[in-house]
Amino acid sequence: MSSMTKLESARLEMGFTQPQLASLSGYGIQSILRWEKGYRSPRVEVLEKLAPILGKPIIDLIGYVNPTMPSPQRVRRGRKRKVAA
């Protein structure tokens, strides 16, 4: 099970799709997607605009619903190294 950001959880609680939240907030769908997937973190100014739309205080939009899961940017991916024989 993947970890969900609090921003994504708040959006789903309000019943908004990503395009709807993008339209209401004035930010792009790709920005919403990146914030929700943890690829980028929204600036405070962004959270100040999103908080009233989502009916939450700013602090409730920061972080992950399940903090025991690693954030996507911390998961290291790369080529496997060959071990010399």
- Residue 36 forms part of a structural domain: yes
- Residue 79 forms part of a structural domain: no
> What does the alpha-carbon distance between residue 44 and residue 59 come to, in Å, rounded to a whole number?
10
13 Cα distance to chain centroid: 14
Using DSSP, state whether 18 is helix, strand or coil. helix
- Residue 41 forms part of a structural domain: yes
Average pLDDT over residues 46-58: 96
Q: Over the Cα atoms of the chain, what is R_g?
A: 16
Average pLDDT over residues 61-76: 65
User: 4-8, 23-27, 40-44, 78-82: which has the minimum mean pLDDT?
Assistant: 78-82
Give the count of domains, the chain: 1
Domain that holds residue 44: 6-62
pTM of this prediction?
Answer: 0.72
- Residue 55 forms part of a structural domain: yes
Write the CATH number for 13.
1.10.260.40
- Residue 37 forms part of a structural domain: yes
pLDDT tens-digit readout, 16-46: 999 999 999 999 999 999 999 989 999 999 9
